[in-house]
Amino acid sequence: MKKYLVICLLWLTTGVAQAQSVIDDDQLGAWYMYFLTKKFKDSQFGIQGDYQFRNWNVGGDLEQLLLRTGVTYQPKNTNVTFTLGYAFISTGDFGESDSTFPEHRLYQEALLPQKVGGRFFLTHRFRYEQRWVENQDFRTRYRYSLFMNVPLNGQELKKGVVYLALYNELFINGQTDIGDGRTVQLFDRNRFYTGLGYGLRTNMRMQLGLMNQTTVAFTKPQLQVGIHHNF
């Protein structure tokens, strides 16, 4: 009898642990983000970066800490910007666990802005990543984003202007084998975002919105609070 009780207790404990590790699709997460761009005076070069605190909930349950910085180059007589950069990411488990695992990443991207009509500001971003994730084989990933900002009380994105902000980003894995017999699908994730922005200064904007992230394993809403700083 004692033997069966022990087996039942172990089974229940395992079931609880597995339930805690399952991501809650309905729980609202929150990402707090700061983006910067700077072009060096009288130069085609500059820097860009984004620093993000991502939580599984509104605050406290770390999903990711992301620190990313790159060197930019804009060829003469074009509005295309190329970037070569590095990112460090620390990813945490959903729930009460405090364990994290690191990722180091190199990335190259091309940014193509486009204005349609009088007030539709589009940006196409193509990004290629090389990823070194702890306990996985070397991986690559392809990303394409389409951003659209639409000023609501003006013609330009400047101080005092409220604007609608939208974007969609698709992620495709470069490999399906990640080591030790583990595999992933070619489709990695998709992010769709809707929000509102406000021009705090001529070179600084704030955005607040909701992003819905869809992966093979889950679909989850994320509140996003971002500062975009160009100096």
- pLDDT one-digit tens code per residue, 5-54: 444 434 434 343 333 347 888 899 999 999 999 999 999 999 999 999 99
Virtual CA dihedral for 188, 105, 103, 207, nearest 10 degrees? -70
- pLDDT one-digit tens code per residue, 187-223: 999 999 999 999 999 999 999 999 999 999 999 999 9
CB 73 within 8 A of CB 99: no
pLDDT at 97: 83
pLDDT at 3: 46
Report the predicted TM-score, pTM, of the whole model to 2 decimal places.
0.88
